[in-house]
Structure formats: C-alpha cells, structure tokens
Amino acid sequence: FDTILVEKYSLSKSIECKVSSTKVSVSKGKILDTTKYRYFFRVPICEQLKAKSNLKASSRVSFELKVLSALSFYATGSYQRLVGNDKYLGQTTVSKCVKEVTEALISPRILNTFIKFPKSRLERDAVKNKFFSKYGFPGVVGCIDGCHFHIFTPNKEREHLFYCRKHFHSLNVQMICDSDCRILNVNAKYGGATHDAFIWDNSGANSYMQELHRNHEQVWLLGDSGYPQRPWLMTPILDAVEGTPASKYNVVHGKTRVVVENTFGRLKNRRRCLSKDRTLHYTPEKCAKIIMACCVLHNLAINFNVPEPQSETTTTVHPQGSPDTSTEANHENERGDDLVRGRALRNILVARINRLHT
C-alpha cells in the first residue's frame, strides 16, 4: 500500500501530495477510493506525527514529502539512492528524511499510542475474550516469540553478539501480539546471539505479567518451548502422547500461538526493508529504531484497515515445541517454585481444554 502511495502521488517540489487520479489501484481487481486513501495518509500518519513528535518541514522538503520518502524506504527496502531518484531527492536528503521520520515514529508519545500492552483489567479481558472466541484457549492476553531481522555485519568488537544460530548477523526482536496480529509489546535491544528465554527473563513484560499474578489475576502469554513454563507463560508439553488430553492441549496451543508467526509474516510483507531477502545496512542501534518504527506503522495499518499487499506469507506451527532441544532440556531440569506452579496451572488448563474441545 505504501508503494502505491509513492507511485500515485507526484513528488516534485512544485506538486506535493496531489492525487494523480480519482482512484488508486491496490491490486488486481481491487480499487481504493482516493478519499479514503488521502484520509489514511494525511490523518493517521501525518497528523499524528505533527501533533506528537518534533518532526518539522524544512525549507527544501515539505513535511509530507519527508514522510513519503521514509514510507517508500520502509515499504520497498530499496537502497536510499534508488529511493532518492524516485522522489527527485538526493541520497543525503533521503537518508536524513528516513532518520528524522524514524525518530519521530519511535518518540514516546507516538510509540506509547500505537504499541501498548493492555493496562487495565477491562482491556485484558477484551483481549483474552477475543482469543478464546477465535481459538478456544482461555486466559490468553498475548502470544510471544522472537524474530531475527538481518543486519549488516557490526564491528569486530561486538560482532559475536549478533551472529545467530541461523548463521547470519541479526537482531533478535521479541514481540507480543494479540489475536488480530496487533503488536502489544516489542523489545529490539538484543543481538541475534541472545536466546529468546534470556530476552524474556530480562524484559519489562515478564515483570508485568508476574505482577498481575501476584495480584491474583490468572492470565498468561503463549510461547514455544524455547521459553520456560511459568504460571504467566504457557508452553507446549514435551513428548505428549497422541490422543491424550496433553496432545489436544498442544494442538490448541499451536493453533493459537501461530498468530505471532503470522504477525512477523505480515510485518515483513508490508515493510519489505525487514524481509528475509533484505539486510539493513546500518548500525544495530539504527536497525532497532527502524524495526520499531515499522511496528508502529504495522499497528496503524491494522487500526485503519489498510489492505495487505498481495504476497504469500508462510507460517510455521510447532505444536510439540521448538526445535531448540538443548534449551528445552534446560527448562525440563528446572525445579523452582515458579516452574512447579506453572506446570500445575498448565495441568488444570489441559483438563479444561480437553472438556472444551471434546
């Protein structure tokens, strides 16, 4: 959609943000009225940035043109020289536009508006009720996983922190999403060599979920077997026998948790600068900011029902657990109170899901 936006608007300095026709083609057989189109661009993005960030127009580049330049980069993943040629702007100018818009999108007032974990009991009830109505898994307020985003090789002093088990340099970004693939929480602080469980153990989301349980609220996230079983984090049951209640629990767990895989797929499909075929050629810190900015735009697109680009996205379900068996074994050897209470609560869930899905 952002690519269409760039193509259908004239971007010369004499004509800024003027629609070239009364209709904008979204994909084969689909037409989007430009009134809606202009509303999506000008109101949700530009007006939010004008009201809640320090982004300003310059003497040479209008506010809208700055935003369009960054959107084109996020949407296509084109290198800045190509983006600059498309918009009649020099590479240095486009680079500055991308930097300014990225900083604006991750400013606290914007970030906290569009990426927020449900803070009130009423909000959490709404999220878990939607999960239950869609998938039949009770008590879920989010699904969690880590996703690797390709980055350029960092300097030698810290390169080892970013070389992941998939044999490339990456950021391992933890995300929590709801049943609509809306991102509720994102943590882009860690390199690809860091395991999902470590990121989770040191995250604010973990502390918040523990606080909810100390206040006797029985809600949880769903994660794969790379995460430790806890009362506030439900994982698959290893080696469950086919046809047993534990196996049924795993199936429902997998079908529910796949929503986070779908979220990664939709994010990378819409923001091609993050796709597996692209590499972000920036420092890890700037890459993290770009990923966060794309997450804000992802949620904004969901809020305003922006159509998805037509491209196949793949999802993978591991109902019996993650293939990272060494980590699974480590979790199996834990004997803390949290693990014991987590397994006890999971056993109750197994019985309940067995009754619900008989």
Do 2 and 74 contact (CB within 8 A), yes or no? Answer: yes
Widest CA span of the chain, in angstroms? 69
Q: At what angle do helices 337-356 and 245-270 cross, to 10 degrees?
A: 100
The helix or strand, by DSSP H or E, that contains position 356, with its residue range, turns out to be helix 337-356
Burial of 213 from C-beta contacts in 10 A (0-12 / 13-18 / 19+): middle
* Percent of the residues in the chain that have a pLDDT greater than 90, as a whole number: 61
Give the span between the Cα atoms of 236 and 158, in whole angstroms: 34
Give the span between the Cα atoms of 101 and 256, in whole angstroms: 35
Residue ranges covered by each domain of the chain: 2-111, 117-356
What is the pairing mode between strands 220-222 and 140-150?
parallel
Q: For position 304, what pLDDT does the model report?
A: 84
Integer CA distances (angstroms), 310 to 80, 269, 271, 301, 302, in order: 24, 9, 13, 15, 16
Q: For position 311, what pLDDT does the model report?
A: 58
29: left (phi over 0), alpha (psi -120 to 50) or beta: left
Give the span between the Cα atoms of 18 and 292, in whole angstroms: 29
Give the span between the Cα atoms of 294 and 289, in whole angstroms: 9
Q: For position 305, what pLDDT does the model report?
A: 83
Listed as ranges, residues in the chain with pLDDT below 50 are 1-40, 313-329, 332-333
* φ and ψ of 146, to 5 deg: -105, 145
Q: 288: Cβ–Cβ under 8 A, 6 or more apart, which residues? A: 171, 173, 188, 189
Amino acid letter for position 168: F
- What single string gives the DSSP state of each residue in 40-67? HIIIIIIIHHHHHS-----SSS-HHHHH
Give the span between the Cα atoms of 203 and 97, in whole angstroms: 31
* Among 81, 55, 71, residue whose Cα is nearest residue 6: 71
Give the span between the Cα atoms of 251 and 314, in whole angstroms: 19
Amino acid letter for position 174: Q
Tokens 């929590």 label which residue?
176
